[in-house]
């Protein structure tokens, strides 16, 4: 809002459009539209009289068809009076810099203004102007009456040469990319291989799903290899899982074996499904791999994969992996034991001293149901600032599951620590205790802790 008002005032002073606001930012145009109206609500001050005089000059110039700069016409296009906006729209022909405000006026509440703006946009929007206006049109598409400009944009891009769509497919605006890829799929602008590469490359899950599904729908015998290579090699689990699932339909279940130990649970599940559909039991593969506890290149996904489809008896294969030299294998082995609901408190406690944060995190999650029975004093000692952060976070989570006094003791210990996030969590506990702990003040330790906490909180 403030930026829009500031831009409106600068334009009213005659500052050039590009110097008053970021013309490439859709939000800047929407803020300007609102800012002009806010700036126009002036009281009887000297500033207000000055603005009124400037507004009168603008209205006079519009009525007399006097020449107006883009800056002054931009102010008129956002004016609170619909008659002024309507008249200003008659002066925008041949002024491409003002097209964003024409787009905004296509959603105007006043029907005559809206109709004239739509006529102007239909005259001006072409293959060249579509790409720079697309982010603003797409944003306004979610507004009431925003469907006209969005539909017009789609019609223009359908008729435009394919290369005109390329900037939108690479846009930094996620909504624009979704729109562009949706249009490309609908019109068949991209080959199956191009769609597969887009699914593998894009970081938006909607685009990934859209393009992967479209690629697999259009896949042929000649394009299968290229499509599968792109999808199966993607960083995105969603794209990889689509490729793995397609192996069943394409009669290539043997390739699913390579994904049984994938880092993604979704991809592992798809690989198991494909193999089962072709009569292969993935559990035998997992058991064989996890039996090789000394294998230095054992993939971490094998350990958790065994737990996902195994039984509690398979814990016997996972416990040795908790001592594997690779931190990832140790962490997934501990996660697998938790998945199987097999927890040996003594052995899990030992894992809290593991040098790998991931192992400590998984061991903490496994111990949480038994946290109340863990030695509180030992956990408090683990809050020492000299300890690694992940050790302190682990101790805090386990202490938080203890009783009120132990939880308060831990919180006060953290208030003076260096970790801001832990201090914030601890402060919430102390404040809650200060509000509701009056009944516990008979306990000397609680009274001391509350006093200490109040002093540290200031």
Give the pLDDT confidence of 45-60 residue by residue, as tens digits: 333 444 454 566 666 6
Q: Is residue 316 part of a domain?
A: no
Predicted confidence (pLDDT) at residue 207 exceeds the cutoff of 50: yes
Predicted confidence (pLDDT) at residue 62 exceeds the cutoff of 80: no
Is the Cβ–Cβ distance between 261 and 268 less than 8 Å?
yes
Q: Is residue 425 part of a domain?
A: yes
Predicted confidence (pLDDT) at residue 193 exceeds the cutoff of 80: yes
Q: Using the 3D structure, point to which of 124, 153, 187 is the last residue of a domain.
A: 124
Q: Is residue 219 part of a domain?
A: no
Residue 94: helix, strand or coil by DSSP?
coil
pLDDT at 419: 80
Q: Summarize pLDDT for 84-118 with one digit per residue, the tens.
A: 999 999 999 999 999 999 999 999 999 999 999 99
Q: What is the pTM of this model?
A: 0.79
Q: Using the 3D structure, point to which of 124, 152, 178 is the last residue of a domain.
A: 124
Q: In whole angstroms, what is the distance from residue 37 CA to residue 429 CA?
A: 47
pLDDT at 311: 95
Best CA proximity match to 211, nearest among 252, 164, 243:
243
**What length does the chain have?**
458
Domains identified in the chain, total number: 2
Predicted confidence (pLDDT) at residue 25 exceeds the cutoff of 80: yes
Q: Summarize pLDDT for 65-83 with one digit per residue, the tens.
A: 667 889 989 999 999 889 9
pLDDT at 442: 54
Is the Cβ–Cβ distance between 34 and 4 less than 8 Å?
yes
Residue 324: helix, strand or coil by DSSP?
coil
pLDDT at 407: 82
Q: Which residue carries 């890829």 as its tokens?
A: 181
Q: Using the 3D structure, point to which of 109, 124, 139 is the last residue of a domain.
A: 124
Most confident of 281-295, 393-407, 415-429: 281-295
Is the Cβ–Cβ distance between 423 and 414 less than 8 Å?
yes
Q: In whole angstroms, what is the distance from residue 396 CA to residue 398 CA?
A: 5
Cβ atoms within 10 Å of 14's Cβ, excluding its own: 11
pLDDT at 48: 43
Most confident of 6-10, 90-94, 158-162, 284-288: 284-288
State which residues form the domain around 397: 374-458
Best CA proximity match to 267, nearest among 297, 229, 232, 306:
232
Predicted confidence (pLDDT) at residue 253 exceeds the cutoff of 80: yes
Q: Is residue 155 part of a domain?
A: no
Best CA proximity match to 400, nearest among 424, 427, 368, 378:
368
Q: Is residue 32 part of a domain?
A: yes
Tokens standing for 221?
């015998």
Predicted confidence (pLDDT) at residue 417 exceeds the cutoff of 80: no
Q: Where is pLDDT greater, at 293 or 322?
A: 322
pLDDT at 58: 65
Q: Is residue 237 part of a domain?
A: no
pLDDT at 43: 41
Predicted confidence (pLDDT) at residue 259 exceeds the cutoff of 60: yes
Cβ atoms within 10 Å of 241's Cβ, excluding its own: 26
Q: Sorting pLDDT into bands at 50, 70 and 90, what band is 343? A: confident
Q: Is residue 189 part of a domain?
A: no
Sequence-distant (6+) residues with CB within 8 A of 185 are 195, 210, 211, 214
Q: Is residue 454 part of a domain?
A: yes
Average pLDDT score over residue span 153-171:
93
């Amino acid at each position: 809002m403030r930026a829009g008002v500031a831009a409106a005032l600068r334009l009213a002073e005659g500052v050039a459009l590009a110097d008053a606001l970021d013309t490439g930012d859709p939000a800047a145009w929407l803020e300007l539209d609102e800012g002009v109206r806010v700036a126009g609500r002036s009281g009887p001050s000297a500033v207000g009289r000055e603005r009124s005089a400037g507004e009168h000059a603008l209205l006079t110039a519009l009525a007399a068809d006097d020449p107006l700069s883009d800056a002054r016409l931009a102010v008129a296009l956002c004016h609170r009076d619909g008659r002024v906006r309507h008249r200003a729209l008659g002066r925008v022909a041949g002024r491409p810099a003002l097209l964003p405000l024409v787009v905004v006026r296509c959603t105007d509440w006043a029907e005559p203004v809206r109709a004239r703006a739509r006529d102007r946009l239909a005259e001006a929007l072409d293959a060249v102007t579509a790409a720079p206006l697309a982010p603003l049109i797409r944003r306004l598409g979610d507004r009431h009456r925003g469907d006209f400009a969005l539909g017009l944009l789609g019609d223009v891009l359908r008729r435009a040469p394919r290369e005109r769509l390329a900037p939108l497919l690479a846009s930094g605006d996620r909504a624009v990319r979704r729109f562009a890829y949706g249009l490309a799929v609908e019109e068949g602008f991209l080959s199956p291989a191009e769609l597969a590469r887009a699914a593998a490359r894009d970081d938006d899950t909607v685009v990934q799903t859209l393009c992967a599904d479209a690629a697999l729908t259009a896949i042929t015998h000649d394009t299968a290899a290229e499509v599968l290579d792109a999808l199966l090699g993607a960083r995105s689990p969603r794209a990889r899982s689509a490729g793995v699932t397609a192996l069943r339909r394409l009669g290539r279940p043997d390739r699913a074996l390579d994904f049984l130990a994938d880092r993604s649970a979704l991809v592992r599940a798809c690989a198991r499904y494909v193999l089962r559909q072709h009569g292969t039991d993935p559990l035998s593969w997992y058991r064989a791999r996890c039996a090789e506890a000394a294998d230095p290149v054992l993939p971490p996904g094998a350990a958790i994969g065994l737990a996902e489809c195994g039984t509690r008896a398979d814990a016997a294969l996972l416990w040795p992996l908790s001592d594997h030299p690779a931190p990832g294998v140790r962490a997934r082995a501990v996660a697998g034991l938790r998945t199987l609901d097999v927890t040996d408190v003594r052995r899990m406690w030992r894992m809290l001293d593991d040098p790998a944060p991931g192992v400590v995190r998984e061991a903490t999650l496994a111990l949480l149901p038994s946290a109340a029975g863990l030695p509180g004093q030992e956990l408090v000692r683990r809050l020492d600032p000299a300890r690694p952060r992940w050790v302190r976070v682990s101790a805090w989570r386990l202490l938080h599951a203890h009783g009120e006094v132990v939880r308060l003791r831990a919180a006060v210990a953290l208030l003076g620590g260096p970790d801001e996030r832990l201090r914030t969590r601890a402060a919430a506990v102390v404040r809650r205790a200060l509000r509701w702990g009056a009944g516990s003040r008979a306990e000397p330790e609680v009274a001391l802790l509350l006093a200490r906490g109040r002093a540290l909180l200031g």
